[in-house]
Structure 1
Amino acid sequence: MSIEVGSKVQGKVTGITNFGAFVELPGGTTGLVHISEVADSYVKDVNDHLTVGDEIEVKVISVKDGKTALSIKQTVDKPERKSSSYSKRPSGQGRNARPSKGGYKPKESFEDKMAQFLKTSEENLSTLKRSTESKQGGRGGRRG
């Protein structure tokens, strides 16, 4: 029996590692269920979800160079999500469309932004310089 990508098959867990579980498939081939494909929720330890000898249903994700990638979480058919009313915004009310607290603020030019950055940068540098000079004990500090 050939294993096709996308097919769901029954398998038996033959080994567990810290990165996943090895599953023996029909026809004697072995595939790996990566830790990220064990469950929908975060999996810290595969042993919390599987034990050696478990019969499980897996979905074949890919077959490359004789290596078969499997998934347990993709075997569960999820119902299609209906779009909820709060997930869609009415048109024209995106993040940038809302006025800021101070009302409408026109876009600044690049030169204005650079001038503002330069001003704040110089202020920060002078503050830093003043605070480090006082701690260094320069200009007439005690000498022993």
Structure 2
Amino acid sequence: MELSIGAIISGKISGIKPYGIFVQLNQANRQGLIHISECKNGYIADINRLYRIGQKITVQILDIDEYTRQISLSLRTLQKLSYDSRHFNKKKYWTDNKKHLGYQTIADLKGVWMAEAK
């Protein structure tokens, strides 16, 4: 089977390193690497807690190096992007809006700062 960029194929984890996961690709009898940044959305503290050698996974081919024929894989591209809409719709305040201080504190201290600067 000829591999192509964007193809979704299955494989088995053959090695785990701190920087990523090596995957033995079933259909092509070749090996590829999933960089740690392509394992999942978000931060990964310990890659060994999420994956284990021998685990079967489905991956997407990101890149095939033209000269070395190394294969870059991704799990992240197959994950659904989820976010909490409440987080993005919140108003963000630069000050403590509950105390209604606003920028008055800065205005009050401006004179002191100017005197210190001279």
TM-score bracket, normalised by the shorter chain, equals: 0.5 to 0.7
User: Which protein is bigger by CA-based radius of gyration?
Assistant: 1
Higher normalized strand content (fraction of residues): 2
Q: Does 1:29 align with 2:30?
A: yes
Consecutive unaligned residues in structure 1, runs of 5 or more: 88-100, 102-119, 127-144
Provide runs of 4+ in structure 1 moved above 6 Å. none
Could you say which residue in structure 1 is the equivalent of 2:44?
A: 43
Structure-2 separation of matches of 1:78 and 1:4:
24
The answer for the alignment partner of 1:72 in structure 2 is 75
Task: Decide whether the 8 Å contact of 2:19 with 2:36 is kept in 1.
Answer: yes
Higher relative contact order (CA 8 A, sep 6+): 2
- 1:97-124 superposed Cα distances (whole Å, 9 cap, x missing partner): xxxx7xxxxxxxxxxxxxxxxxx7xx74
Q: Could you tell me which residue of structure 1 aligns to residue 54 of structure 2?
A: 53
Map Cα deviations across residues 84-107 of structure 1 (whole Å, 9 max, x no partner): 9x87xxxxxxxxxxxxx7xxxxxx
- Tell me the number of residue pairs that the alignment of Structure 1 and Structure 2 aligns: 97
5+ long unaligned stretches in structure 2: 90-102, 104-113
Aligned residues: percent identity?
29
Q: Secondary structure at the match of 2:41?
A: coil
Contact 2:21/2:36 (8 A) holds in 1: yes
Superposed displacement of residue 78, structure 1: 4.3
SS at 2:77 equivalent: helix
* Distance across 2 between alignment mates of 1:47 and 1:74: 20
